[in-house]
């Protein structure tokens, strides 16, 4: 979306210069170079940011609570919903050091990531800043060394006034902290769950995370619980749940679903917080009621055998097109976590696809996903009952989803406007 000339008049700047080619990791990029900023300009940005963080987000709360919370499902607190979003072209493109270099709408801000992840795309899209994915092949050390070099070259060429970056990666966060002393930009850390709480339980890594929160200019988190943690050790936090992902138009039903009458997609990566064994136990009773559970994710990393779970279909790793085909064509989506403040990606994807969703009964999930969702514990019997309830009430839950999606979009636009104002970025028209 192009901005008119007046929207580019910001801090004494006029229209942006033409993009120039930049060579990064073997890929030819086209970026909009920013103007040299003084220390006073960045100091003013930080002052405005602090003032913005002192304001209460009453408008956001009103947007998300405008409609009454309907409770059509008995098993848990209210469910939540989402509409089918417009398609996002080439979801898996530009790997191995490639970069998404859409023309910047903020003029002098960039988003840097070392991996492909849905939140990076959706947040950069809403903020209107170009997303640079510096992702390489090879061993871990080799990948990170190449990413470090590519990041420094990008900063030197673009000279941004504001840099957004996800945490994880902690290495990327500390690299940008070092580079900030040279390039003098405002650093905004977008902290995922592992960027607030070390999932391995290491006290040393946790201290590094907390120290980074104090050093960066702002930490964006997904929920109030994480915001409290960041503030408790001296960081500045801003709450912004994920904007909804943009999914492609509904694809044909995958061949693996032929003959299946009642279907469930269990979104799983087989990490420590996911009760996948309980789900596979629930699949036994669900199979007796005509359901088939399809499980995504690399099960081989835990040396699991598909033959050990005859009532579930373990898909393993599938490409994005196949994953979207299952996402759009199943009846119910299931995504569980034992972490209280984790907002699982599968919930956002379920809302974007307009599919009833079964989620864990945790603090963060029940507070955000208030429509179109059934919540449950991790007891196999309750998981099975929640799936059956979501299936039987799928028509009512789908209606709730449309309303929730509308309000989530409105709240997202308010949050993004607040963030851009605090960072002194030009406003982007609502999408």
- The tens digit of pLDDT for each residue in 214-226 reads 999 999 999 999 9
C-beta atoms surrounding 307 within 10 Å:
7
Do 153 and 263 belong to one domain? no
Domain that holds residue 378: 255-392
pLDDT value at position 377? 97
CATH for 60: 3.40.50.2000
**Helices of type H across 216-362:** 224-232, 276-288, 320-329, 345-353
pLDDT value at position 9? 28
Asked if residue 26 belongs to a domain, the reply is yes
Q: Comparing 95 with 136, which gets the higher pLDDT?
A: 136
pLDDT tier at 38 (50, 70, 90 boundaries)? very low
Digit-coded pLDDT (tens) for 405-429 = 999 999 999 999 999 998 888 655 4
pLDDT tier at 288 (50, 70, 90 boundaries)? very high
Asked if residue 407 belongs to a domain, the reply is no
Q: The whole model's pTM is what? A: 0.75
Q: How far is CA 118 from CA 201, 304, 395, in A?
A: 25, 27, 27
Q: What is the dihedral of CA 359, 362, 365, 371, to 10 degrees?
A: 60
Do 282 and 204 belong to one domain? no
pLDDT tier at 40 (50, 70, 90 boundaries)? low
Total structural domains within the chain: 2
Digit-coded pLDDT (tens) for 339-376 = 999 999 999 999 999 999 999 999 999 999 999 999 99
Q: How far apart are the first and last CA of the chain?
A: 9
Contacts of residue 50, Cβ cutoff 8 Å, sequence gap at least 6: 236
pLDDT, average across residues 265-275: 96
Asked if residue 355 belongs to a domain, the reply is yes
Of 84-88, 89-93, 243-247, 320-324, the poorest mean pLDDT is in 84-88
Do 51 and 197 belong to one domain? yes
Decide if 68 contacts 193 (C-beta within 8 A): no
Do 234 and 275 belong to one domain? no
Do 239 and 284 belong to one domain? no
pLDDT value at position 31? 44
88, pLDDT greater than 50: no
What are φ and ψ of residue 428, in 5° steps? -105, 135
Q: Which two tokens stand for residue 74?
A: 């008995």
pLDDT tier at 20 (50, 70, 90 boundaries)? very low
Do 219 and 336 belong to one domain? no
Strand partners, 218: 188
Asked if residue 323 belongs to a domain, the reply is yes
Highest mean pLDDT, choosing among 8-17, 51-60, 245-254 = 245-254
Decide if 89 contacts 122 (C-beta within 8 A): no
Do 101 and 178 belong to one domain? yes
Decide if 135 contacts 95 (C-beta within 8 A): yes
Do 163 and 28 belong to one domain? yes
Asked if residue 265 belongs to a domain, the reply is yes
pLDDT, average across residues 288-299: 96
Do 277 and 370 belong to one domain? yes
Do 201 and 222 belong to one domain? yes
Do 232 and 289 belong to one domain? no
pLDDT, average across residues 98-117: 67
Asked if residue 309 belongs to a domain, the reply is yes
Asked if residue 403 belongs to a domain, the reply is no
Asked if residue 87 belongs to a domain, the reply is no
Give the percent of the chain with pLDDT over 70. Answer: 74
Residue tagged 């003013």 (tokens): 44
Q: Say how far apart CA 382 and CA 134 lie, in whole Å.
A: 42
Strand partners, 166: 190
3-state secondary structure 160-188: CCEEEEEECCHHHHHHHHHHHHHHCCEEE
18, pLDDT greater than 50: no
Do 264 and 174 belong to one domain? no
Q: Which two tokens stand for residue 346?
A: 């599968």
Query: Is the preceding peptide bond at 169 cis, omega within 30 degrees of 0?
Result: yes
Label the pairing between strands 27-31 and 20-24. Answer: antiparallel
């Amino acid at each position: 979306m192009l901005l008119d000339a007046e929207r580019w008049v910001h801090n004494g700047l006029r229209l942006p210069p033409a993009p120039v080619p930049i060579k990064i990791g073997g890929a030819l990029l086209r970026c909009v170079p920013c103007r040299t900023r003084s220390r006073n300009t960045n100091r003013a940005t930080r002052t405005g940011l602090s003032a913005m963080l002192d304001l209460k987000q009453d408008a956001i709360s009103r947007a998300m609570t405008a409609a009454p919370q309907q409770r059509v499902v008995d098993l848990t607190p209210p469910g939540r919903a989402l509409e089918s979003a417009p398609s996002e072209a080439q979801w898996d493109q530009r790997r191995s050091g490639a970069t998404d270099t859409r023309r910047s709408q903020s003029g002098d801000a960039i988003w840097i990531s070392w991996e492909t992840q849905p939140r990076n795309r959706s947040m950069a899209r809403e903020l209107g800043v170009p997303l640079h994915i510096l992702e390489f092949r090879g061993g871990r050390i080799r990948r990170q060394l190449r990413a470090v070099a590519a990041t420094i070259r990008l900063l030197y060429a673009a000279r941004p006034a504001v840099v957004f970056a996800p945490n994880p990666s902690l290495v990327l966060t500390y690299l940008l902290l070092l580079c900030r002393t040279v390039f003098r930009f405002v650093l905004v850390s977008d902290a995922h769950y592992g960027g607030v709480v070390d999932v391995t339980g290491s006290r040393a890594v946790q201290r590094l995370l907390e120290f980074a929160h104090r050093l960066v200019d702002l930490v964006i988190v997904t929920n109030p619980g994480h915001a409290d943690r960041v503030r408790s050790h001296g960081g500045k936090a801003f709450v912004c749940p994920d904007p909804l992902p943009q999914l492609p138009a509904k694809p044909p039903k995958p061949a693996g679903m032929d003959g299946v009458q009642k279907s469930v997609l269990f979104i799983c990566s087989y990490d420590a917080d996911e009760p996948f064994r309980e789900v596979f136990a629930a699949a036994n009773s669900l199979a007796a009621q005509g359901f088939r559970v399809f499980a995504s994710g690399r099960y081989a990393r835990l040396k699991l055998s598909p033959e050990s779970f005859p009532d579930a279909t373990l898909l393993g790793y599938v490409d994005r097109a196949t994953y979207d085909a299952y996402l759009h064509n199943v009846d119910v989506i299931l995504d569980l976590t034992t972490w209280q403040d984790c907002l699982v990606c599968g919930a956002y994807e379920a809302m974007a696809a307009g599919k009833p969703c079964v989620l864990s009964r945790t603090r963060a999930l029940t507070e955000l996903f208030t429509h179109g969702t059934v919540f449950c514990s991790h007891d196999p019997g309750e998981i099975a009952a929640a799936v059956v309830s979501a299936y039987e009430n799928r028509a009512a839950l789908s209606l709730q989803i449309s309303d929730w999606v509308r309000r989530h979009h409105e709240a997202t636009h308010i949050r993004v406007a607040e963030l851009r104002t605090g960072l002194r970025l030009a406003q982007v028209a609502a999408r």
